[in-house]
Amino acid sequence: MDSDNIKFVLVETSNGGNIGAAARAMKTMGLSQLALVSPCEFRTYECYSRAAGALDLLDNALVCQTLEEAVADCTQVIGTSARLRSLSWPQIEPHDFTELFGNAAEGAKIAVVFGRERSGLSNTELGLCSQLVVIPSVSDFSSLNVSAAVQVLAYEVRRAVLALASDSDDRKVVKKTVKPGDRPASHEDLERMYSHLESTMLDTGYLNPENPRMMMPRFRRLFNRASLNQSEVQLLRGLFASLEKMSRRIKSGS
């Protein structure tokens, strides 16, 4: 896993100083891909002074309106949170990055998403994440400043990248060429698949819009856990299409 394929995304950061400090934290650990979702006005003195020499990250930061846009090109989206949510998300420890990156297919692009200073990430935003990293702080004072959380996780990314690099040197691992269908499904592929799943379930009556019973978040969690590749997404969409066809036939009585 190459550091250029790891993107840190900061959602609606409200303090420019935190954005500068996050850029510095990333640069010290060899990370350069920074995305800012609806940030505050960050081109301020405080931001630039806290960034120290990491001005290039700020100048090249991708600024977008929504988290969806920021992660559209990513194959895996990992959320971060100071606390656990009611719907239990698959949780990983920061040191699990080594295993996660080691298992990532060639061409994988991973986003690590950080929430707002006051309220963290919304449940909808967490819905875009396949896993949640929680830095194991003490339970009655668990929330780090967002730039401190960026530093801790940037360090863990660095450790993982170094460990995997020496591992592959040692074992002279030769990367296999990957067939197109084996490539991990992109976030956009998955979102299209979820829309298809939802319309199919509405069509067949399995999903009742009056009483959705968290059906979509539960399916998202299940499929996110499976790390689908492109041909598996096509396989599932073929199944949804055939269910839709059958449901139409039954409704028309033919």
Beta carbon nearer to ligand SAH, 38 or 142: 142
Q: Cβ of residue 52: shortest distance to ligand SAH, in angstroms?
A: 21
Q: Which of 44, 91, 131, 137 binds ligand SAH (CB under 6 A)?
A: 137
Q: Which stretch binds ligand SAH (CB under 6 A): 56-64, 99-107, 128-136, 198-206?
A: 128-136
Contact call for residue 76 and ligand SAH (CB under 6 A): no
C-alpha torsion angle, residues 248, 249, 250, 252 (rounded to 10): 80
Compare residues 31 and 193 and give the one whose CB is closer to ligand SAH: 31
Q: Which of 1, 47, 70, 146 binds ligand SAH (CB under 6 A)?
A: 146
Report, in Å, the least distance between residue 234 CB and ligand SAH.
34
In the bound state with ligand SAH, the residue whose beta carbon lies nearer, of 12 and 189, is 12
Q: Which residues pair with 9 in a beta bridge?
A: 35, 113
- Binding segment toward ligand SAH, per CB under 6 A, in 39-47, 117-125, 199-207, 217-225: 117-125
Amino acid identity at 90: P
Residue span 28-67 as binding mask against ligand SAH, x where in contact by CB under 6 A, dash where not: ----------------------------------------
Q: Which residues bind ligand SAH (CB under 6 A)?
A: 80-83, 114-115, 117, 119-121, 133-135, 137, 142-144, 146, 149
